[in-house]
Every structure is written in C-alpha cells, then in structure tokens.
Amino acid sequence: MTPLLSAVLGALVVVILMALRTRYASFLAQAPSDYTGKGPAIDLRRHLSGPLTCEGVIFGPTGRVTSRFVADMQGTWTGTTGTLAEVFRYDSGTVQHRAWTLAVAHDGRITATAPDVVGQGTGHAAGSGVLLRYRIRLTPEAGGHVLDVTDWMYLLENGTIMNRSQFRKFGIKVAELVATIRPVPVEAQQLAAAE
C-alpha cells in the first residue's frame, strides 16, 4: 500500500468515526423518545407560562465562557398557542428583546417563530425533554451570520428547566448556551406589583 493511499484511508476512517460519534454518542444524537416516561412530564403551556427568570452563560468555539446573561421572560397562552416574550441583559451591557410564538400539538410536536429566526423552528416534547431546531440570524453587531441551533430543554423535579443549546455554522459548533429557566416566586411577583 502506498503512503498516499494509507493517508487517504486513514483520513476516511477518522471521518467515519467522527460521523458515527456525532450520530450515536453526542449532544446531537439525542431524540425526544429518549425522555419518554423519564422524569416529570414537561408541558410548555404550563412550564413556560407567567413570569419566568433565566440565567445563563454562552461558551465560544474554544469552550470558554464568552458571555453571561440574565433574562426576564413572560409566557402567555391561549389554547395550544403561546407567546414567550424575553428581555436578555448581557454582561456587556447589551439588552436584547425576542418574542417567540409557539404552537404545541397534542402529540408533542412544536412549531416556533421569532423575528430573528429564519423560517420556522420545529421540535417535539416527550417526557421531561423538549427538542427545538431552528436557524437564527445574529444581529449585525455580531456579524449577521445565520446559525443552525439545536435547543434542548429538560424539566427538573422542582419545576426548573435546564436549557442547553448548540449553535453551528457549516456543521461546526461555534457556540453553546447553558441556562436555567424557572418561575418567578410569588413573593417576588407581589413585591414587584407593590412598587
């Protein structure tokens, strides 16, 4: 076997192993059915309703934290259609507003739109997990790139939602987000209303 053929075969084996890892043993390999019957059942109409608070970090392509944020959210629902209004406050001082429109079917299928989402996001809720895939357009200040997003939410027993999202460009992971979403305690709501 020639050295060139050996190098080509070696590269092919590496590509195949990476593809198998991505398909069967990575964040992208998860399926909603993995969470059916496991943990508390998530219902977006209930768990993303009312005033919510969100705290998180964004990791860049090197795996280091590039940004931190706190967000106030308000979920309102009419039947199976809802709006999740979000106000993000980043550690840089930047404030970002987003309003998701969500529709949940009885079989767990989800569709989602937002002003910075290209087209329509699709997903599925099963058991304690929710998968949502969409394409997002970054702000002009962030380069205006369109990224492919795989967004997973996992409901914990205390009602907190753990959110993990990966952002990819040309199939390469360029960022990751990890955050918590939880209801604003009733006491805090009452204090805010009294002010």
Q: How confident is the model at residue 48 (pLDDT cuts 50, 70, 90)?
A: very high
Q: Specify the CATH number for the domain of residue 130.
A: 2.40.128.20
SS3 at position 1: coil
Among the listed residues 163, 141, 175, 143, the one whose alpha carbon sits nearest the alpha carbon of residue 64? 175
- What are the pLDDT digits (tens) for 53-79? 999 999 999 999 999 999 999 999 999
- What are the pLDDT digits (tens) for 77-107? 999 999 999 999 999 999 999 999 999 999 9
- Show the CA angle centred on residue 94, arms to residues 93 and 95, nearest 5°: 115
What is the extent of the structural domain holding 17? 1-30
DSSP code at position 61: T
Task: Check whether residue 96 and residue 163 sit in a common domain.
Answer: yes
Whole-number pLDDT of residue 17? 66
CA–CA dist 92, 179 (Å, integer): 17
Task: Check whether residue 75 and residue 2 sit in a common domain.
Answer: no
Task: Check whether residue 16 and residue 107 sit in a common domain.
Answer: no
Task: Check whether residue 128 and residue 69 sit in a common domain.
Answer: yes
Task: Check whether residue 26 and residue 36 sit in a common domain.
Answer: no
Give pTM, 2 decimals: 0.82
Number of domains in the chain: 2
Task: Check whether residue 111 and residue 87 sit in a common domain.
Answer: yes
Task: Check whether residue 44 and residue 115 sit in a common domain.
Answer: yes
Task: Check whether residue 71 and residue 86 sit in a common domain.
Answer: yes
